A and B are shown apart, each in its own frame.
Chain A
């Protein structure tokens, strides 16, 4: 199948899943006349639509960032979680809930700043490490930063006011989109979409980063600047969606691999495909999280429980060759 056809199929699938997601839920739209059911309309417009749109952003941001970071660091095991960004953003959110305000915009800004701080710390530490090659050093430093911030989140839990902040912090750490309203979506939209668009525009150039730096330089591109642009865009997009959905660590690592399986190793295709696949998967997972049982199932549980078998299934299929 030609790539364009595959992209079209994927795009149509995302649109169909999006529509289905708006139509299903614990409140049945079919038992009422939709034109006159004010509550039903309200639920679709004010609960399902912002939530599904946020799921699209979340899936896209995590997957596109994962794909871009994997190319930028020439390491297929890198995801935002590995270089400490997820935990940094989580710490930022916890810090905001405790010391600043639990207003969504404050949480978002704090998450993003701490996500970036985690990245810079990982970078700074990696240059101090006298062991291994550059990428390995960065991954090791990222693990250390990740551990540091997750320890910090633990300290925040101890400091939280048990009557007000602790339950809120615990809910936040559990992750998921259950509390999303229009306001939350509109707050995360500009920065996360901005990060995604930067990565989508830069996706042809991301291929260059898979080459050695001197080769890239000889092709007339500054690899340092390009890598910085890609990494910062990825970190901003990831941190912003983390501020509203909590740490959903798994998607950013896996979706790019599924994209590579279907679309080959060309980063430009992998990044675009990751955006669509990420959106499709997250819409599906979140719909299940809010529909399958009378209580809300934490999104992290659904992504792991359904995503892992799906991942193995897709990667073990032969016919999805990389030729196009």
Chain B
């Protein structure tokens, strides 16, 4: 019995000692935090309403940004459509302060902004870049895709950095977000011009294809032939992706409409054989092989010969205007040139309806008007285009 009592006493002592230790540590931490808080709590920065602009962004938030806006950072997952649109504003060359490595390696954007190399900051091309890395540059505003809110936008705002969200996923969000960028880059007239261009070209195509009955629409497959990781996979966009609606507007029947899944859906050859598409548009974003290489590979493959599109030779490589062949150059991606991509798609599906359109001229006009390139520069870009432009 005495042994048991001693044991209980010892345990009690241990309990008291450990609890004391825990309390002391907690009190120390609390004291340290409170002292530092009193000394170093950041002061509220004053707002000067008269020297600020107000934008309503894609998440319907009203954001007030102090003028002048000289340091714009565009980063986070899928930042390239934002960059591709931002560079349409002549002031972007001076106001875009930093961006990721990937965009700076593309020939098109090197022509548009010869100083682009000096704007590259390591890490900004990551899906979730480091918050402090962005803060260290003290930006006036950071532009992000709307789904970056909880992972990047909220922490940035918690340290007082202004964040504006955009979507840029289809015509409607383009028209809305162009206006927001117009305010940030201080050029609402240019925003109007860009929005009108997209609206007019979209309307031009859809006015000719709108009345085409379903039975007259060829079955079109947009095939993302992926060779990453040494394995080949066939990927098809989901029903709600830009590519699906592009084919529909261009007067085709997008087979991807039948997919309930979202994002890129991996499908088997059997599914493609079952669909038996009348036309196949090939895209690939991994550089090598190019969409044209893949097109020839499919044409030479005996397995694919029985597919309608191949039997009739209606396989086309999607145009791409950046030499590194990443997604931001492909005309099917939500980067700025998807509007040229719709024209190209429509001309391939219904050549007779668009026989009066010269796509190379359209593209030249696009680069000159939208990106303010001179004729030689625009021609240089067009000469770089890979895929079946003609």
A residues near B (Cβ < 8 Å) are: 4, 7-8, 11, 14-15, 18-19, 25-28, 34-35, 38-39, 41-47, 49, 102, 104, 158-168, 171, 176, 178-183, 204, 272, 290, 293-296
Question: How big is the B interface, by class?
Answer: 35 or more
B151 near A178: Cβ-Cβ < 8 Å: yes
Instruction: Supply 7 A–B pairs (Cβ within 8 Å), ascending by A.
Output: A11-B25, A27-B135, A28-B136, A41-B42, A162-B262, A183-B154, A293-B123
Which of B123, B148, B151, B260 counts the most chain A CB atoms within 10 A? B151
Choose one: A15, A45, A163, A179; the contact of B155 (CB below 8 Å).
A179
Is B138 located at the chain interface by the 8 A CB criterion? yes
- Known contacts A4-B21, A26-B136, A47 near B155 by CB under 8 Å: yes
B21 near A8: Cβ-Cβ < 8 Å: yes
A38 near B42: Cβ-Cβ < 8 Å: yes
Choose one: B37, B129, B169, B241; the contact of A295 (CB below 8 Å).
B129
Residues B19-40 near A (CB distance < 8 A)? 21-22, 25, 28-29, 32-33, 37, 39-40
Is B167 located at the chain interface by the 8 A CB criterion? yes
B18 near A7: Cβ-Cβ < 8 Å: yes
B245-281 vs A, Cβ < 8 Å mask (1 yes, 0 no): 0000000000000001111000000000000000000
Question: What separation, in Å, do the CA atoms of A152 and B85 have in the docked complex?
Answer: 38
A294 near B240: Cβ-Cβ < 8 Å: no
Question: What separation, in Å, do the CA atoms of A171 and B136 have in the docked complex?
Answer: 24
Who on chain B is nearest to A163 by CB? B169
Is B159 located at the chain interface by the 8 A CB criterion? yes
**Nearest 9 interchain pairs by C-beta:** A294-B123, A295-B126, A26-B132, A27-B132, A162-B263, A162-B262, A179-B151, A42-B159, A294-B122
A294 near B133: Cβ-Cβ < 8 Å: yes
Is B150 located at the chain interface by the 8 A CB criterion? yes
Who on chain A is nearest to B32 by CB? A19
Q: Which residues of B lie under 8 Å from residue A27 when comparing CB positions?
A: 132-133, 135-136
Question: What separation, in Å, do the CA atoms of A90 and B72 have in the docked complex?
Answer: 36
Is B77 located at the chain interface by the 8 A CB criterion? yes
Decide if the interface of chain A is mainly helix, strand, loop or mixed: helix
- Known contacts A15-B28, A15-B29, A181-B155, A295 near B40 by CB under 8 Å: no
Choose one: B18, B45, B148, B263; the contact of A166 (CB below 8 Å).
B263
Choose one: B18, B28, B151, B159; the contact of A39 (CB below 8 Å).
B159
Is B212 located at the chain interface by the 8 A CB criterion? no
Question: What separation, in Å, do the CA atoms of A83 and B309 have in the docked complex?
Answer: 51
Minimum Cβ distance to chain A for residue B28 (Å): 7
B122 near A34: Cβ-Cβ < 8 Å: no
Q: Which residues of A lie under 8 Å from residue B14 when comparing CB positions?
A: 4
- Known contacts A47-B132, A163-B167, A295-B130, A181 near B40 by CB under 8 Å: no
Question: What separation, in Å, do the CA atoms of A179 and B158 have in the docked complex?
Answer: 11
Question: What separation, in Å, do the CA atoms of A295 and B15 have in the docked complex?
Answer: 44
Q: Which residues of B lie under 8 Å from residue A19 when comparing CB positions?
A: 32
Is B311 located at the chain interface by the 8 A CB criterion? no
Choose one: B28, B124, B126, B241; the contact of A162 (CB below 8 Å).
B241
A45 near B41: Cβ-Cβ < 8 Å: yes
Q: Which residues of B lie under 8 Å from residue A8 when comparing CB positions?
A: 21
Q: Which residues of A lie under 8 Å from residue B169 when comparing CB positions?
A: 163
A181 near B154: Cβ-Cβ < 8 Å: yes
Question: What separation, in Å, do the CA atoms of A22 and B104 have in the docked complex?
Answer: 34
Minimum Cβ distance to chain A for residue B237 (Å): 9
Choose one: B121, B130, B148, B150; the contact of A296 (CB below 8 Å).
B130
Question: What separation, in Å, do the CA atoms of A267 and B25 have in the docked complex?
Answer: 22
- Known contacts A39-B159, A160-B262, A296 near B128 by CB under 8 Å: yes
Who on chain B is nearest to A296 by CB? B128
A295 near B128: Cβ-Cβ < 8 Å: yes
Q: Which residues of B lie under 8 Å from residue A18 when comparing CB positions?
A: 29
Is B228 located at the chain interface by the 8 A CB criterion? no
B69-100 vs A, Cβ < 8 Å mask (1 yes, 0 no): 00000000110000000000000000000000
Who on chain B is nearest to A14 by CB? B25
Who on chain A is nearest to B151 by CB? A179
Who on chain B is nearest to A158 by CB? B261
Q: Which residues of A lie under 8 Å from residue B40 when comparing CB positions?
A: 34-35, 41, 44-45
Is B11 located at the chain interface by the 8 A CB criterion? yes
